[in-house]
Amino acid sequence: MSEQFEDAYYDDEIIEQAPKKNKFLSILLSLTLAFTGGLIFKTTLAANVSLGSGAKEFGQGVQVHASCAGSTPLTLKTQTSFANASGAAGKFQLTAISLSNIPTTCYGKAIEIKAYADTATAPLALFNSTVDKVTVYNGNGTFWVTNASSGYDIVTNSTSSFTVTFSSPVLTSGSTAKFTVESMVNTATLNCLQAGNCAVGSTNGPGGGIVFYYSASPFTSVGSTCNTNCHYLEMAPYGWNGGGDDPNIPLSQNTTTYLNTTGGGIGDGLSNTVSWANIAGGGNASNSSAILALQYAGTDNSAGQWFVPSIGELDKLLDVYINQSIGNLRYNYWYASSTEYSATHLWIQLSQIPGKPTYQSGKADPRIVRLVRAF
């Protein structure tokens, strides 16, 4: 059990010990804050706090008593912005919180941040009118939140630091006296990217797929959220379209238009698939694999990120299936790629040993499809 401390009100007073909290936590950081009207502060991540005559502001605080941090001091910084109000006085609101100097002993923990008034025991609302805490998951030096679309988001600054930003802040500087930062056992189910342990064969990819490719050097996947900083490919799970097997469907009914989707390398699959899906005369038919790929949302609402692999990506996928028995694919079946051979044909590959031979198939010919995603 850790101890709670209050920082001296930025007036050089001695820090006094407060009563112990009988709560399951391993980090506790308190920061005394207030605001005196008439002072104008820029919207900035404060690095210094004015002491002076006792006027205080959102700023930074440091405290060392923590279980997972041991004797390592944690640093909390806040960012504010001034909000004008029609017919009333404006106010400074908390728009972001940064926590830094988090040691590796806190890997795998959940970190919870709350704010309090000077004497109140109930936490103050931080954002979205009533939400009074943020919970951040430390995935071995990569930090995540589980409800980033619900009022706050996070940026990993380094393996020991993160910044949480509020899209609808409500906390004002004048109401706030301290922050608490608590760590606890992580009970959330993290995907391998969030947990920081993705590897070829991981079955908990960000979209619920199986990781089948890793590159230490980043590759580009145009249209993917990772953009120019992609390192992994995951394949959709067996029966991804809701059936009992991978579907056997055509990539396009358009067998006359040359799309120039000849990209066959790692990172080419999504741009190829988007081109297939947008072509009139059959490419955009509802039963084409290109359309179904872009509609697939995985387990994380990632529609638009999944695609029919390029021939190079398909080759890597079949490699891990054949050599490592990963993916539960059909053995000795032709799988479709999104790489075009001609106006009438595309490249396909056979899931067998030896050689994984490639061949050309008519665009409208039904072929087995396993979707892929870059991250």
Tens-place pLDDT, residues 346-367: 999 999 877 789 999 999 899 9
10 Å CB burial of residue 9 (0-12, 13-18, 19+) is middle
Say which residue, 316 or 19, is predicted with more confidence: 316
The three state secondary structure string of the chain is CCCCECCCCCCCCCCCECCCCCCCCCECCCCCCCCCCCCCCCCCECCCCCCCCCCCCCCEEEECCECCCECCCEEEEEEEEEEEECCEEEEEEEEEEEEECCCHHHCCEEEEEEEECCCCCCCCCCECCCECCEEEEECCCCEECCCHHHCEEEEEEECCEEEEEECCECCEHHHCCEEEEEEEECCCCCCHHHHCCCCCCCCCCCCCCEEEEEEEEEECCCCCCCCCCEEEEEECCCCCCCCCCCCEECCCCCCCCCCCCCCCCCCCHHHHHHHHHHCCCCCCCCCCHHHHHHHCCCCCCCCCCEECCCHHHHHHHHHHHHHHCCCCCCCCCEEEEEEECCCCEEEEEECCCCCCCEEEEECCCCEECCCEEEC
Instruction: Give the mean pLDDT of the chain.
Output: 79
Closest among 350, 348, 371, 330 to 240, alpha carbons compared:
371
Tokens (6 digits) for 63: 């405290």
How far apart are alpha carbons 288 and 304 in whole angstroms?
Answer: 15
User: How many CA atoms lie less than 13 Å away from 168 in the CB half-sphere?
Assistant: 11
Residue 18's alpha-carbon distances to 4, 28, 87, 113, 250, in angstroms, are 6, 12, 41, 18, 69
pLDDT of 284 higher than 60: no
Under the banding of pLDDT at 50, 70 and 90, the label for residue 59 is very low
Under the banding of pLDDT at 50, 70 and 90, the label for residue 245 is confident
Q: What percentage of the chain carries pLDDT values higher than 70?
A: 77
Q: What is the CA radius of gyration of the chain?
A: 26
Lowest model confidence (mean pLDDT) among 1-15, 226-240, 311-325? 1-15
User: How many CA atoms lie less than 13 Å away from 250 in the CB half-sphere?
Assistant: 17
Tens-place pLDDT, residues 35-58 = 222 222 222 223 232 323 333 344
Residue 8, pLDDT score:
26
How far apart are alpha carbons 217 and 370 in whole angstroms?
Answer: 25
Residues 75-85: what's their mean pLDDT? 83
Residues 10-16: what's their mean pLDDT? 25
Residues 104-118: what's their mean pLDDT? 90
Residue 282, pLDDT score:
54
Closest among 337, 339, 334, 324 to 356, alpha carbons compared:
334
pLDDT of 83 higher than 60: yes
Exposure string (b/e) for 284-299, b if CB count within 10 Å is 16 or more?
bbeebbbbbbbebebe
Residue 42, pLDDT score:
24
pLDDT of 288 higher than 50: yes
Lowest model confidence (mean pLDDT) among 208-222, 236-250, 305-319? 236-250
Residues 233-258: what's their mean pLDDT? 89
pTM: 0.67
Residues 285-291: what's their mean pLDDT? 79
173, 92 Cβ separation under 8 angstroms: yes
Residue 148, pLDDT score:
52
Say which residue, 163 or 195, is predicted with more confidence: 163
